Structure 1
């Protein structure tokens, strides 16, 4: 057995460091979205090719989920986090100095590959937390992820406007290096013994897909983030159109409303510690489905859209934290493998949501996109209802 050290209490300072690592690392993937036009103009990339800059980072991230995150179950996790932070800095540094499109693509792909330090960090935080604190720790760390995803759009846009798009990647590289130094200073040594080999870890990851609890939570995550992706990928479409004609900067401000997800993550963590993870999942998924009634009103009311965005993001992160709490509690000796495998559902679901919402909008406008988003939410709720009995032994909920 691995000696995980669950009795070690994670201090607030360490939790905040974990959250900062997650926020900055995930920002390396999403920062390109609001500055694609500037990048394309500078590097001579046509409009049709700009999407590959974002896709390259996401593909790198997907590969990292499969092959790098499980390393956390077999090597010193503190050293792994340090190494991945520094290699992510190399990736964004390459992007910052790129003078050709292929160099830019290589840089963001490298950054995306090692940005899976986010999941290694989440797994490490869960593993060194006392059981009664695991939910709170996951809640705070996941808040960092939310802030990184949504805040990246706002901050990157501001930096690019003031100092050009390269300043975004230079800043990220510097902050990643600083975080690596703080990990050396503040995080405890990883003293586990009896660590498995790489082949054994990968085999263990594959066996998860035969477990009912894992598949239930994975499918919930798949539909959950498909719904999330349907909103955030398609949101600009109705806001750029009549009657609003909002600018890119104005649309980016909706990301601030999405930060309500950070509050959802924090509260869900506390509820999970109290044994209500499964109840929170069902309630939040119901909220998610209802939120699309408000979000669908985007062409008519920005206030209702704002309410829908806040509720949706709160619900998504509450479910996400609850899922991770249940899975890491069920597999405390291989948190990295569990988190990495679980996040595959997130990645595929997000991609499906992005493709579906743009396709639906082309056919039926924002009403079509909203129906797609609501269907994904209802599908997640159906999976939860079918799998309630699976989660009961872990959460002790009724």
Structure 2
């Protein structure tokens, strides 16, 4: 492997300090970090609470929960679609679809609780699909902001995702014990709805067309 000498002379401390500059000067990064942080809060809230719901109220065993998780993983199929939409210049459309799908993904059991496990499967697949789609489009946008800063941009983006995920997981148990799945679904729907409202009224103009 040939040796590679970086062409920058910044120290580690300077690189860490530059993270704040990147956030302050790149609105696309701020918007995308917010969207995906809120989306992952919903994602983590769902996947933290759903095993308890499946075991307590639907009689599934641990093996059943594992199979449920495999079905939910089907949502990852959105990655190629998201990539093609972004490459074709449809980042705005893809973002809009992802945020709307995430906000509506909890509707099956809120509208008709008798759907049971089938309703949870629909939520899991649609939510995973939406979160993955928004993440891929977001990564494509922030990677195109400044080639020399891609590692730092990705660090900021991923940090926002894990902060959102940690918040979603942290409140899952309390919400479930106080209001069951209805409260979980109601709160989980709010996060992508907030992202959608922010996108429509603030961040849409910052979304790259291609």
TM-score normalised by length of structure 2: 0.90
* 1:388 has 2:204 as partner: yes
Q: Which of 156, 165, 168 is equivalent to 1:353?
A: 168
Quick one: distance in 2 between partners of 1:306 and 1:346? 23
1:255 is paired with a residue whose SS is helix
Quick one: distance in 2 between partners of 1:189 and 1:282? 44
- Shift in Å at residue 192 of structure 1? 6.0
Counterparts of 1:275-314 in structure 2, within 5 Å, are 275-294=89-108, 296=110, 300-314=115-129
1:310-335 Cα distance to aligned partner (Å, 9 max, x none): 11100000000111110001122111
* 1:223 has 2:22 as partner: no
* 1:259 has 2:73 as partner: yes
Structure with greater contact order relative to length (CA < 8 Å, sep ≥ 6): 2
Quick one: distance in 2 between partners of 1:231 and 1:190? 45
Counterparts of 1:145-156 in structure 2, within 5 Å, are none
Quick one: distance in 2 between partners of 1:299 and 1:351? 30
Question: Aligned pair in 2 of structure 1 residues 190, 286: CA closer, same or farther (>3 Å)?
Answer: farther
Equivalent residues of 2:98, 2:130 under 8 A apart: yes
- Shift in Å at residue 270 of structure 1? 1.6
Quick one: distance in 2 between partners of 1:255 and 1:376? 22
- Number of residue pairs matched by the alignment: 206
2:89 is paired with a residue whose SS is coil
Which one has the largest radius of gyration?
1
1:137-165 Cα distance to aligned partner (Å, 9 max, x none): xxxxxxxxxxxxxxxxxxxxxxxxxxxxx
- Shift in Å at residue 199 of structure 1? 2.3
- Shift in Å at residue 295 of structure 1? 5.2
Equivalent residues of 1:298, 1:305 under 8 A apart: no
What's the C-alpha RMSD, in Å, of the aligned pairs? 1.9
* 1:240 has 2:87 as partner: no
Q: Give the structure 1 partner of residue 7 of structure 2.
A: 194
1:51-77 Cα distance to aligned partner (Å, 9 max, x none): xxxxxxxxxxxxxxxxxxxxxxxxxxx
Q: Give the structure 2 partner of residue 336 of structure 1.
A: 151
Quick one: distance in 2 between partners of 1:280 and 1:194? 36
- Shift in Å at residue 272 of structure 1? 1.1
Quick one: distance in 2 between partners of 1:189 and 1:356? 49
1:246-283 Cα distance to aligned partner (Å, 9 max, x none): 11111111111222232111211121111112220111
Normalized per residue, which structure has more helix?
Answer: 2
More displaced stretch, 292-301 vs 266-275: 292-301
Q: Give the structure 1 partner of residue 193 of structure 2.
A: 378
Q: Please, which runs of 5 or more residues in structure 1 have no aligned partner?
A: 1-187
